[in-house]
Amino acid sequence: MKKKVYIKTWGCQMNDHDSHLIQNILIKEKYIIEINPEISDILILNTCSIREKAQKKVFDQLGRWKKFKEKNKNLIIAVGGCLATQEGIKIYNRAPFINIIFGPQTIQKLPHLFKKINKKKNFFIDIKLNSLEKFNLNFVKTPKKKYIEYVSIIEGCNQFCSFCIVPYTRGKEISRPSNDILNEIKKLSNHGIREVILLGQNVNAYYEKKKHNKIYDFCDLLTDISKIKKIFRIRYITSHPKKFHNKLIKLYQKIPKLVNFLHLPVQSGSDNILKSMKRGYTISQYEKIISKLKKIRPNMTFSSDFIVGYPGETEKDFKNTLDFIKKINFDTSFSFLYSKRPKTKAAKLNDSISLEKKKKRLQILQKQIKLQALQWRRRMLGTIQQILVEGSNILNNTIEFFGKTENNRRVYFLGNEKHLGTLVNVKIININYHSFLKGKLL
């Protein structure tokens, strides 16, 4: 009898992609992916540990699943992802009813671990790092028609920013072989994928040593991907300003398939905070990257990440961040309260800023970012935008098609089935003040 598996995911795009890989691995092994945890034989929780709040959510969820286990003693519960690597056996000590703890780089072992449960042992842990084995599987076509897909190119991080736990939970940087990446994208393109989003903690740290010690880097990979005819668009997340060299900037002259939008995390607009964070660049250096890109692509837009309330952040530091956000005129961005993480250098710093003050600063910063995002939407009104058509919905008893602009705005328009998976030009005729836009097909 085929077993039903329910997968719940928290975290970044890397976690989402890992869950997609888990799904592919299990489908290949004849498991059934279930959407209802209550009738499943196996429950998988793929976790995040980037902030303390995410960690609390994991144990709250496990508490709810414990009730399922009490009703079904044969239920298998597996906890994976970054928190699994961070906490290891401590998770089992707090929740001894779980059966498996696995890491981001041991997901390929899940079918084997499932089979071992209930024989000689009822609990297994495998959170080893620095392995790319999870990518060594045959491509599995998803039942739902898709035109955009994530492709992981590099795992781990070598930067060791003082606030970040990623190097401890995903290990050191390890790049996938370029041939594997290119073959995967070619297969995806043959199944209808027209846009790829390259994934990694620091995609621009991608590095492969070829024959005769020739170095093949991120720019070489982007160039080769651009030659795949059926791929219309290329995006990537996340890149690091420290490694955003001129060679990469100049590619925006040579590769039209690179979208006119970039997410480039900065974390703070204060040099003092950046130095404490050990980010490896100054605000001036970051601004030069943006300036060079704008000279090549005048209409290019940018988003970023910001941490508010980092230990030692003064009112002046915070003001510098606000001024910087206005100066660059970021489009949509992500912002978070600083969260102390174990093993990181920042965890040892004196965090004297009150939670009330942190929340007030975050509220001010997010208000500014929302204002700028609204202004960008207003600027788009009346413009002609190229979108990749992804699907259709019924809105007000009318079938409307939708797709995303290069700066990640969803646009709805009247069209037909032939437009799916193609690039079309639409004129923006209306804006929604929260998210999507309305367009007219040209």
Phi, psi of 440 (to 5 degrees): -120, 125
Cα–Cα distance, 151 to 208 (Å, whole number): 17
Phi, psi of 279 (to 5 degrees): -80, -25
* Tokens at 231, concatenated: 């791929």
Percent helix, strand, coil in the chain, to 5, is 40, 25, 35
* Tokens at 143, concatenated: 């039942």
Which amino acid type is present at position 321?
T
Q: Is the peptide bond before 238 cis (omega within 30 degrees of 0)?
A: yes
Radius of gyration of the chain (CA): 23
> Do the Cβ atoms of 365 and 322 come closer than 8 Å?
yes
pTM: 0.91
**In order along the chain (442 residues), what is the average pLDDT of each group of 10 residues?**
92 87 90 94 91 80 93 94 91 94 92 83 87 68 78 93 92 93 94 96 94 93 98 97 97 98 98 98 98 97 97 97 98 93 92 94 97 94 96 84 94 93 97 83 95
Cα–Cα distance, 436 to 334 (Å, whole number): 18
H helix runs in 191-237, sequence order: 218-226
Query: Coil, strand, or helix at residue 37?
Result: helix
* Tokens at 404, concatenated: 């995303």
Cα–Cα distance, 163 to 306 (Å, whole number): 12
Cα–Cα distance, 325 to 271 (Å, whole number): 14
pLDDT at residue 212, as a whole number: 86
Cα–Cα distance, 166 to 344 (Å, whole number): 10
Query: Coil, strand, or helix at residue 162?
Result: coil
pLDDT at residue 351, as a whole number: 87
State CA 362 to chain mean position distance.
Answer: 22
Angstrom CA distances, 169 to 177, 229, 241, 412, stand at 22, 37, 22, 40
Q: Scanning the structure block, which residue is given the tokens 């709810």?
A: 64
Query: Coil, strand, or helix at residue 341?
Result: coil
> Do the Cβ atoms of 376 and 230 come closer than 8 Å?
no
Q: Could you tell me which residues are beta bridge partners of residue 413?
A: 401
pLDDT at residue 429, as a whole number: 96
pLDDT at residue 190, as a whole number: 94
Query: In 84-147, which ranges are E strands?
Result: 100-102, 124-126
For the beta carbon of residue 323, count every other beta carbon within 10 angstroms.
13
pLDDT at residue 138, as a whole number: 53
Cα–Cα distance, 378 to 431 (Å, whole number): 7
Burial group, residue 388, by CB count within 10 angstroms (0-12, 13-18, 19+):
buried
Cα–Cα distance, 161 to 346 (Å, whole number): 9
pLDDT at residue 404, as a whole number: 94
pLDDT at residue 211, as a whole number: 86
Cα–Cα distance, 245 to 200 (Å, whole number): 17
